[in-house]
């Protein structure tokens, strides 16, 4: 659709308003806050003018944000979901975790981390009874020069095979999550679940928006990690099974090529690395984690 160009008088009115709002921050004593507000106003007005926003559309946007506010509480954060599906979370992560040498790449945190996940020993099982195919996960934690990082804290969490996190059943439930520490040679190993795809919470305004634009709420299958060690930048990331068709259209744009790993399917009866008896099929994956130095 071609829009008729605004008349010079109309242009002057619109541009004048932008400058008046920008000037309203002149006395702001916090330079960063001023920079953020001035840039926000310039981009917001550019958007409104670019699409020639109607008053009905403005009203619909206000109503959408109001519904997002009403559904948000201590455990449901609709504004973060909105940021996620617009790629704003992932872009913020990209900016703040710039690629550094061979360090493992970061991706979205998501809303399902909890602080008090149980500790497991090396080789322990973080499933804690959650349904799903067992998966043996192993690797090393090193710095970017290949030096082993002993005692790195490794937090892991994931959805069960029904696509739900423990806290979605009951805020107090703890399963399919845990933490462990890397060994003296930097190695780690644990049993988890083979990841499966699941939808982000889509029963609110963000789900309705996805539906209206013909997008799926599904996240690519993944296993979350948060790895920390003194002197290193804390890494928040996931690994994604190779061959997952959802990988191409992850609803929150979290997939990075370097984080796609081969989860090798094992037939029932295949001996396990630690001699554990597993009924049925299982899988195994290797994920070598490289941490960037603090401040990188």
DSSP class per residue in 161-181: TTS--HHHH-TT---SEEEEE
Report how far residue 124's alpha carbon sits from residue 16's, in angstroms, rounded to the nearest whole number: 64
Q: Give the sign of the dihedral formed by CA 11, CA 13, CA 14, CA 20.
A: positive
Specify whether the CB–CB gap between 219 and 246 falls below 8 A.
Answer: yes
Does 126 bind ligand BEZ (CB under 6 A)? Our answer is: no
Given 22, 111, 173, 181, the residue binding ligand BEZ (CB under 6 A):
111
Q: Which of residues 234-273 bind ligand BEZ (CB under 6 A)?
A: 252
Report how far residue 48's alpha carbon sits from residue 182's, in angstroms, rounded to the nearest whole number: 51
Q: Please name which of 61, 192, 214 lies closest in space to residue 129, comparing C-alpha atoms.
A: 192
Q: Which of residues 136-175 bind ligand BEZ (CB under 6 A)?
A: none
DSSP class per residue in 257-275: GGGEE--EEE-TTPPPTT-
Quick one: DSSP state of residue 131? S
The residue count of the chain comes to 296
Q: Please name which of 158, 43, 149 lies closest in space to residue 104, comparing C-alpha atoms.
A: 149
**Which residues contact Fe ion (rule: CB under 5 A)?**
110
127 binds, among Fe ion, ligand BEZ, none (CB under 5 to 8 A by kind): none
Beta bridge partners of 235: 227
Does 219 bind ligand BEZ (CB under 6 A)? Our answer is: yes
Q: Least distance in Å: CB of 19 to ligand BEZ?
A: 38
Q: Which stretch binds ligand BEZ (CB under 6 A): 20-28, 104-112, 258-266, 280-288?
A: 104-112
Q: Which stretch binds ligand BEZ (CB under 6 A): 34-42, 69-77, 103-111, 181-189?
A: 103-111
Q: Which is nearer to Fe ion, 105 or 183 (CB)?
A: 105
Does 217 bind ligand BEZ (CB under 6 A)? Our answer is: no
Question: Both tokens of residue 238?
Answer: 């996931």
Site string for ligand BEZ, 38-77 (x = CB under 6 A): ----------------------------------------
Q: Which is nearer to ligand BEZ, 168 or 281 (CB)?
A: 168
Q: Nearest to ligand BEZ by Cβ — which residue? A: 110
Does 220 bind ligand BEZ (CB under 6 A)? Our answer is: no
Residue with tokens 């008349």: 7
252 binds, among Fe ion, ligand BEZ, none (CB under 5 to 8 A by kind): ligand BEZ
Given 84, 133, 202, 250, the residue binding ligand BEZ (CB under 6 A):
84
Specify whether the CB–CB gap between 158 and 221 falls below 8 A.
Answer: no
Which positions lie near ligand BEZ, rule CB under 6 A? 81, 84, 108, 110-112, 200, 219, 252
């Amino acid at each position: 659709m071609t829009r008729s160009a605004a008349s010079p008088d109309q242009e002057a009115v619109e541009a004048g308003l932008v400058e008046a709002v920008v000037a309203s921050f002149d006395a702001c004593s916090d330079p960063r806050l001023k920079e953020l507000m001035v840039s926000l106003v310039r981009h917001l007005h550019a958007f409104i003018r670019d699409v020639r926003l109607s008053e009905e559309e403005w009203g619909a946007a206000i109503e959408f944000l109001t519904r997002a506010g009403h559904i948000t509480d201590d455990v449901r954060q609709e504004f973060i979901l909105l940021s996620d599906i617009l790629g704003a979370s992932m872009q913020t992560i990209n900016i703040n975790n710039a690629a550094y040498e061979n360090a493992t790449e970061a991706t979205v945190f998501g809303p399902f981390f909890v602080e008090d996940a149980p500790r497991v020993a090396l080789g322990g099982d973080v499933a804690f009874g959650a349904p799903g195919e067992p998966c043996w996960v192993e690797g090393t934690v090193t710095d970017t020069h290949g030096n082993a990082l002993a005692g790195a804290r490794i937090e892991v969490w994931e959805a069960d095979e029904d696509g739900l996190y423990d806290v979605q059943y009951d805020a107090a439930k703890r399963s399919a999550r845990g933490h462990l520490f890397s060994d003296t040679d930097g190695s780690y190993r644990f049993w988890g679940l083979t990841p499966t795809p699941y939808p982000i919470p889509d029963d609110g305004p963000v789900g309705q928006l996805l539906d209206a634009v013909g997008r799926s709420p599904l996240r690519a299958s993944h296993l979350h990690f948060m790895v920390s060690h003194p002197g290193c930048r804390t890494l928040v990331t996931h690994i994604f099974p190779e061959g997952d068709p959802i990988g191409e259209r992850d609803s929150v744009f979290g997939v990075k090529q370097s984080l796609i790993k081969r989860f090798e399917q094992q037939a029932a009866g295949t001996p396990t690395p630690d001699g554990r008896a597993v009924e049925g099929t299982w899988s195994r994956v290797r994920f070598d984690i490289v941490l960037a130095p603090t401040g990188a």
